[in-house]
Amino acid sequence: MITPENLVYEKTKVMTDRVLHYCPGCGHGTAHRMLAEVIDELGIQGDTIGVAPVGCSVLAYYYFNVDMQEAAHGRAPAVATGIKRVLPEKYVFTYQGDGDLAAIGTAETIHACNRGENILIVFINNGIYGMTGGQMAPTTLPGMKSSTSPRGRDVATMGNPLKITELIAELPGTYFVTRQSVHTPGNARKTRRALKKALEYQKLNKGTCFVEIVANCPSGWKMTPVQSNKWMEEHMFSFYPLGDIKVPEK
């Protein structure tokens, strides 16, 4: 029997009670929780405004218990710019997938980062378009199958996967750029620490902080959750190595 006396873990109040629509085994749920817990820990629930993308996390505003805006596909960094410019005291984050951030929204992403907008960009990279049914993404690996690369991504005709995070790290406007994952408790904790640092830097007006989370997509990849995590470790991490890419100079 669960009673207040024997409760060892409680869901953060920065997440609502709505049931997540994400597929079983998907990384979004953990990624949401890490960000929500950090907002809770920093005590900034009432001072945070989020921007949801178009993609699987289009309904993120149902789950984060903070004020949020739903942006057009790819435009979240521009929407976040508009919010931050008129409410500079608030914490502003975007939460975007790879299609949203690295394909249709490349210009908005690069220019917001290059201006050094004081926002946090959370980038979920699962190498596929999950919401629309598993089409090829800008981050789909060479040879990786999707519904629009059924014989595997042919880089000669379909182009190369885009390492946008490395690109972003080159821009003078970015302050902290890192690549993490949430597929093990240890990795989830590292992600949590990265998100916390990013929001602390935002308070100090340091510039854009960019946290990529390499994630699995069991449905899109047509694998079980366990298989997908294993495949991610074996294939995704070699192309998208985890770790900090740009850290503040001491």
Partner 1 sequence: MKELRLMKGNEALAEAAIRAGADAYFGYPITPQSEVIEYLMRENPADRTGMQVLQAESEVAAINMIYGAAGCGKRAITSSSSPGISLKMEGISYIAGAELPCVVVNVVRAGPGLGTIQPSQSDYFQAVKGGGHGDYKMIVLAPATVQESVDYVKLGFDLAFKYRNPVMILSDGIIGQMMEKVELFEQMPRSTEEYDWATVGKKPGKNSVFVTSLQLQSEEQEKVNLRLQAKYRVIEKNEVRYETYMCDDAEYLFVAFGSCARITRKSMEMAREKGHKVGLIRPQTLYPFPEEVIYEMGGRVKGILTVEMNAGQMVEDVKLAVNGQCPVKHFGRFGGMIPSPDEILNALEQKIIGG
Residues near partner 1, by CB under 8 A: 16, 45-49, 51-52, 58-59, 61, 64-72, 75, 78-87, 90, 107-108, 111
- Whose structure tokens read 């009673």? 3
Backbone φ, ψ for residue 172 (5° rounding): -65, -20
Q: What are phi and psi of 179, to 5 degrees?
A: -125, 125
Helix ranges, the chain (H):
28-42, 60-63, 76-86, 98-99, 106-115, 155-158, 164-169, 185-203, 218-221, 225-231, 237-239
At closest approach, how far in Å is the CB of 218 from partner 1?
22
The set of residues, in sequence order, having a beta carbon less than 8 Å from that of 230 and lying 6+ positions away, is none
Rank residues 46 and 186 by Cβ distance to partner 1 and give the closer one: 46
The two three-digit tokens of residue 133, written as one number: 């049914």
Burial of 85 (0-12, 13-18, 19+ CB in 10 A): exposed
Helices (H) and strands (E) in the chain, counts: 11, 9
Which CB atom, from 103 or from 188, has the smaller least distance to partner 1? 103
CB of 132 to partner 1, least distance (A): 14
Smallest separation, CB 146 to partner 1 (Å): 24
What's the CA gap between 212 and 27, in Å, rounded? 12
Q: How far is the CB of 169 from partner 1 (least distance, A)?
A: 19
Nearer to partner 1, 21 or 222 (CB): 21
CB of 54 to partner 1, least distance (A): 9
Nearest CB to partner 1, comparing residues 84 and 153 = 84
What distance lies between CA 26 and its chain's CA centroid?
A: 13
Closer to partner 1 by Cβ: residue 154 or 170? 170
Q: Looking at beta carbons only, is 70 or 200 nearer to partner 1? A: 70
- Min CB(60)–partner 1 separation in Å: 9
